[in-house]
């Protein structure tokens, strides 16, 4: 993925041109009025004290003229709030940095063709949920033939061999099974995020695989889950992060790009020479 911001957009004669500031604010009743609705829980029993604390907290969050529009007790010691008010802050779009996909999104047929033409064998993918994470919905959405969002998973691809190890797999076990399978890529799904356990698990995964393979021979290390920041791949030691909403076709297209990219370019060059 390519780091991208609105300030990087237009360029003339090869010289980057900075975009003027474009401030946007939340929308409620009228454009740019800054109205927002936020929800949170406080470790206080329902009552006036809890509502006063909620309003003061909203003010510290930058919500002006806040109103408590919903209160719900959660047992004797906790209260859930919905607060509505005006946010004083805005966002300058020229300073927003996002990741743009820097590889083409391929269909199933083209993915199979490229793997067959460049690797001459099936692309091997091993997937698992590591640590104590028992939620396989993410890894199954990508790997299982049933797929996700109307797309069939990687098991459906003729030229991709998939080994789905399921949930609560230890990192040493994953490493051993990846070596045994001759994995080109290892996919790890992390749904549980309490106390940032998904981050510590990912670092453990990356460190073990980097140490367990000779330099330059490590398979692609890919993690996914709804609470990951896609810009943190280098920090966590992995090759790629997929966040909320990723589909099997996106993952398959990335695998083709990353695993067969150099070989694919070489074939293209040969094609140009012989055309």
Q: Which residues are catalytic?
A: 146
Q: What is d(CA 45, CA 76) in angstroms, rounded to the nearest whole number?
A: 6
Return the ∠ at Cα 168 (arms to 179 and 165), rounded to 5°.
Answer: 45
- What's phi and psi for 57, nearest 5 deg? -65, -40
Burial class (CB in 10 A: 0-12, 13-18, 19+), 107: exposed
CB–CB of 127/174 below 8 Å?
Answer: no
Q: Which residues contact 192 (CB under 8 A, 6 or more apart)?
A: 131, 132, 133, 134, 135, 198
Q: What is d(CA 8, CA 95) in angstroms, rounded to the nearest whole number?
A: 10
């Amino acid at each position: 993925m390519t780091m991208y911001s609105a300030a990087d957009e237009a360029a003339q004669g090869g010289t980057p041109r900075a975009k003027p500031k474009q401030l946007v604010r939340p929308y409620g009743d009228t454009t740019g009025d800054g109205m927002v609705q936020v929800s949170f829980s406080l470790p206080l029993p329902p009552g006036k004290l809890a509502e006063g604390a909620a309003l003061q907290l909203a003010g510290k969050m930058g919500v002006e003229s806040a109103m408590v529009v919903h209160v719900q007790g959660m047992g004797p010691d906790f209260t859930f709030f919905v607060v509505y008010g005006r946010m004083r802050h805005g966002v300058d779009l020229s300073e927003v940095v996002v990741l743009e996909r820097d590889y083409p999104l391929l269909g199933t047929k083209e993915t199979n063709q490229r793997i067959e033409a460049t690797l001459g064998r099936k692309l091997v993918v091993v997937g698992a949920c590591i640590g104590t994470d028992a939620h396989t919905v993410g890894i199954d959405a990508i790997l299982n033939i049933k797929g996700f969002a109307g797309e069939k998973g990687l098991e459906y691809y003729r030229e991709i061999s998939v080994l789905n190890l399921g949930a609560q797999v230890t990192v040493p076990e994953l490493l051993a099974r990846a070596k045994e399978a001759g994995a080109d890529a290892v996919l790890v799904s992390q749904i549980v995020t309490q106390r940032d356990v998904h981050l510590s698990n990912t670092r453990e995964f990356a460190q073990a695989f980097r140490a367990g393979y000779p330099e330059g021979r490590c398979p692609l290390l890919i993690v996914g889950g709804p609470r990951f920041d896609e810009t943190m791949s280098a920090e966590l030691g992995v090759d790629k992060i997929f966040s909320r909403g990723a589909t099997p076709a996106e993952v398959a297209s990335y695998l083709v790009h990353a695993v067969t990219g150099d070989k694919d370019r070489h074939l293209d060059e040969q094609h140009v020479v012989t055309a």
